[in-house]
């Protein structure tokens, strides 16, 4: 069974922190969109961001709110499984920031972090790692070591290394991030939960499966406490937890966890979302292990169709140089 290593999209800490947020309609609309994001309503946030973009786009590329809103929208499209549209918006945002402020600045570095996450969640790990390395170089230079935004980058670094089965350095990076986030007075529970999820995946990679299960349960609890019991950010961790339960022969728990993850996915995303396809694929593997072969065959076929069709729509069969999008 394959597992999903979560990579974080940093819209929760991005461009509003990079410059003073002006008052007015744009700020109000972003506040409304943030409320939608907090409860996992990505589809509901998108039209609000579109309206926010309309309020500032006439100001041109020198207004940093334009590139910030493009980044927010790109992240939401990424969460909705619409990779091609997300890439298009990232290209616009990168071009604006580079032409007005260059590349060695906080906003550009945080956008690169978001960009790397888009590719990581799409399974395009070469592109994800390339963008992430550049993001880390910039953020390490411009942020203090205990900044929460740098912690997000460290979690993403650890997750990429674990996904590539290259664990060297991953644990140190994750522990540094956790130490910073646990001291944060603001609500960073979803991000912190993602760090525990990545640590759980590291333990699975090391074949320390009991420890992996406990860390993944901690991740679930941390995300639930912040976002609620059906927040879509739980999907990665529940998927990983279900696979881990299966490896430990805790079959009832595995089955229940897969079903919970599918219910959350169905309530937040369209049935052609790639996350749904990945969940179905992992669940099919578990069902085959349980000798429920007829169910597994149907589920696997459905998974393959979803992932194939989504890949075609988003050009995921193409090999693309990530740097091309930043030119």
Q: How far apart are the C-alpha atoms of 31 and 127, rounded to whole Å?
A: 32
Query: Predicted confidence band at 21 (pLDDT cuts at 50, 70, 90)?
Result: very low
Domains of the chain, first to last: 10-326 (1.25.40.10)
Decide: residue 125, CB within 10 A, 0-12 exposed, 13-18 middle, 19+ buried: middle
CB 147 within 8 A of CB 180: yes
Per residue in 131-170, pLDDT (tens digit) is 999 999 999 999 999 999 999 999 999 999 999 999 999 9
Question: Is pLDDT above 90 for 325?
Answer: no
Q: Half-sphere exposure of 179 toward its Cβ, with a 13 Å CA cutoff?
A: 9
Question: Of all helices (H) and strands (E), which one includes residue 158?
Answer: helix 148-163
Give 3-23 as a DSSP string: -------GGGGSGGGGSPPPP
Pairwise CA distance, residues 261 & 30, whole Å = 29
pLDDT average, residue stretch 105-127: 92
Choice among 9-23, 65-79, 180-194, 219-233 with the minimum mean pLDDT: 9-23
Confidence tier at 316 by pLDDT (50, 70, 90): low
- Long-range contacts of the stretch 165-173 (C-beta < 8 A, 24+): 165/205, 167/202, 167/205, 167/206, 170/198, 170/202, 171/199, 171/202
Task: Answer whether 146's CB lies under 8 Å from 180's CB.
Answer: yes
List pLDDT tens digits, range 248-307: 999 999 999 999 999 999 999 999 999 999 999 999 999 999 999 999 999 999 999 999
* Beta strands, E only, the chain: none
- Write down the pLDDT at residue 12: 41
End-to-end CA distance of the chain: 38
Give percent of the chain above pLDDT 70. 89
pLDDT at 186: 72
């Amino acid at each position: 069974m394959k597992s999903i290593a979560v990579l974080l999209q940093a819209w929760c800490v991005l461009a509003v922190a990079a410059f003073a947020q002006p008052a007015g309609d744009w700020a109000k609309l972003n506040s409304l969109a943030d409320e939608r994001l907090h409860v996992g309503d990505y589809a509901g946030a998108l039209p609000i961001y579109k309206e926010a973009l309309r309020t500032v786009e006439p100001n041109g590329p020198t207004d940093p709110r334009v590139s910030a809103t493009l980044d927010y929208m790109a992240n939401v499209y990424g969460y909705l499984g619409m990779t091609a549209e997300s890439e298009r918006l990232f290209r616009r945002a990168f071009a604006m920031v580079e032409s007005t402020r260059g590349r060695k600045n906080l906003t550009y570095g945080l956008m690169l972090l978001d960009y790397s996450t888009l590719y990581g969640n799409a399974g395009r790990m070469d592109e994800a790692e390339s963008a992430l390395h550049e993001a880390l170089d910039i953020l390490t230079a411009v942020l203090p070591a205990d900044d929460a935004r740098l912690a997000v980058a460290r979690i993403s670094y650890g997750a990429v290394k674990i996904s590539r089965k290259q664990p060297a350095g991953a644990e140190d990076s994750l522990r540094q991030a956790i130490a910073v986030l646990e001291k944060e007075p603001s609500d960073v529970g979803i991000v912190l939960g993602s760090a525990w999820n990545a640590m759980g995946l590291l333990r699975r990679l090391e074949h320390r499966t009991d420890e992996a299960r406990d860390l993944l349960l901690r991740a679930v609890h941390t995300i639930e406490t912040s976002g609620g019991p059906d927040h879509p950010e739980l999907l990665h961790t529940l998927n990983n937890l279900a696979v881990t339960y299966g490896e430990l022969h805790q079959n009832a728990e595995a089955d229940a966890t897969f079903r919970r993850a599918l219910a959350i996915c169905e309530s937040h995303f369209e049935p052609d979302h790639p996350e749904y396809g990945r969940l179905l694929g992992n669940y099919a593997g578990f069902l085959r292990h349980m000798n429920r072969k007829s169910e597994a065959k149907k589920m696997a076929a459905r998974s393959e169709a979803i992932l194939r069709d989504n890949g075609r729509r988003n050009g995921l069969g193409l090999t693309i140089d990530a740097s091309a999008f930043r030119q």
